[in-house]
Amino acid sequence: MKVLIIAFADSIHTARWINQIDNPNYEIYLFPNHNNQKILSTFNTNVKIVKANIFKYLQYYLLKSINQIIHNKKYKDVNEHLYNVFRANLIHQFIQQKKPDIIHSLEFQNSCYLTLFTKQKYYQNKLFPKWIATNWGSDIYLFGRLKKHQDIIRQVLAECDYYSCECHRDIKLAQNFGFQGQFLPVFPNTGGFELELISKLRQQGSTSQRKIIMLKGYQTWAGRALFGLRALERCADILQGYHIYVYSARTEDIQIAIELFAHSTKISITAIPLSSSHQKLLELHGKARISIGLSISDGISTSLLEAMVMGSFPIQSWTACANEWLVDGETGLLVPPEDIEVIESAIRKALEDDQLVDSAAQRNYELAKIRLDSKALKQRTIQFYQTVFEDQ
């Protein structure tokens, strides 16, 4: 079986998905959905990266440079079109040469849109490989509410043969956009966890004895870390003795806010370096009493799953289909991402109720053994492609 995966080559989520396909009968090719992406070193060695001819790169960048010099909106649109033509042509050439059985686009706004452009340009009256469109995070839940994206999302869902996602929420959304193809099983896009191995990274004893709080530091078009930091600041009276770790803090505004937080509260707080390993983050979740993740839109947040398997009590925005994994008020707390008072109340409850966090840790780990075991999810991933390959 030959599978062409179109995805972010610099994404750990892409690597985790592909590394599950550990089967000698599968020939896996990865086509980066952007030219300038760094290829992660964590991909399995059997994954073949599709690269363009150097002369085609030079041809494209020459045209791009001319357009940038002219610096006119009309030419900017031309440049974007040229970029799409350039990438679509590379995919078309690959299809003609390798004849993949399946094309799998991971994520909509970059991968699926590019696949759609390729199909519409080169395969209007020709047979196109079976196409799986996989919804990541906010692809339909957020972008489906924006006028600029609604029509092209409908086109993707009209042209693809199969649709996959990690939230049951997004099945209904795809149906609302007119999808009439086949739905594939719902499970996390990033695969599972080696539970036996990572359980050794968890701090011994009960969660209520832990003195660390984890805050996801995304402050972006979707991330709302600043609201979490402000809510923590309002809890300063009961945070003495705790240490706060902020991870994935990529933007200057959150970095400044962290420093101001330390100055105003005198509470220990650390921004974890972006170069920190995944194991380091898991270890910290495994030492944390609470893990907070806030965004206006997401799929099933990977950091939420990490908190669950490591015994940290999740406080998660209700916009991330966390309700499909947590029992609100029992195994976690779901909050609006921009309501500081509600977030503060949730933090206080999680800090003051030892029985709540200890019970949640046990229940979440039992759920993880059922739904997040890496061995089981690897088998489901293999079957995922086998189902499509055998479907006539």
Domain coordinates of the chain in residue numbers?
2-192+374-390, 195-371
Same fold, 2-192+374-390 and 195-371: yes
CA quadruple 270, 372, 15, 119: dihedral sign = negative
pLDDT greater than 60 at residue 73: no
When mean pLDDT is compared across 69-73, 95-99, 125-129, the lowest value belongs to 69-73
Q: In the prediction, which pLDDT does 58 show?
A: 59
| Tens-digit pLDDT profile for residues 191-237 | 999 999 999 999 999 999 999 999 999 999 999 999 999 999 999 99
pLDDT band at 84 (very low <50, low <70, confident <90, very high): confident
Q: In the prediction, which pLDDT does 262 show?
A: 97
Instruction: Give the Cα separation of 248 and 361 in Å (integer).
Output: 24
CA quadruple 55, 59, 64, 70: dihedral sign = positive
Return the CATH superfamily for domain 2-192+374-390.
Glycogen Phosphorylase B; (3.40.50.2000)
When mean pLDDT is compared across 42-51, 236-245, 269-278, the lowest value belongs to 42-51
Report how far Cα 233 is from the mean position of its chain's Cα atoms: 28
pLDDT greater than 90 at residue 35: no
Identify which of 59, 55, 99 has the alpha carbon closest to the alpha carbon of residue 82. Answer: 59
Q: CATH number for the 195-371 domain, one of 2.30.110.10, 2.40.160.60, 3.40.50.300, 3.40.50.2000? A: 3.40.50.2000
Question: How long a stretch of residues is the chain?
Answer: 392
pLDDT: which is higher, 199 or 57: 199
DSSP 189: T
pLDDT band at 88 (very low <50, low <70, confident <90, very high): very high
Instruction: Give the Cα separation of 108 and 116 in Å (integer).
Output: 10
pLDDT band at 69 (very low <50, low <70, confident <90, very high): low
Q: What average pLDDT is seen over the chain?
A: 92
pLDDT greater than 60 at residue 322: yes
Q: In the prediction, which pLDDT does 41 show?
A: 81
DSSP 108: I
Mean pLDDT of 303-328: 96
pLDDT greater than 70 at residue 70: no
Pick from 24-38, 85-99, 186-200, 331-345 the range whose average pLDDT is largest.
Answer: 331-345
Q: Angle of helix 252-265 relative to helix 225-234, nearest 10 degrees?
A: 0
CA quadruple 67, 68, 74, 80: dihedral sign = positive
pLDDT greater than 70 at residue 148: yes
| Tens-digit pLDDT profile for residues 107-139 | 999 999 999 999 999 998 889 999 999 999 899
Mean pLDDT of 266-288: 95
Q: In the prediction, which pLDDT does 63 show?
A: 61
Strand partners, 315: 292, 333
pLDDT greater than 80 at residue 266: yes
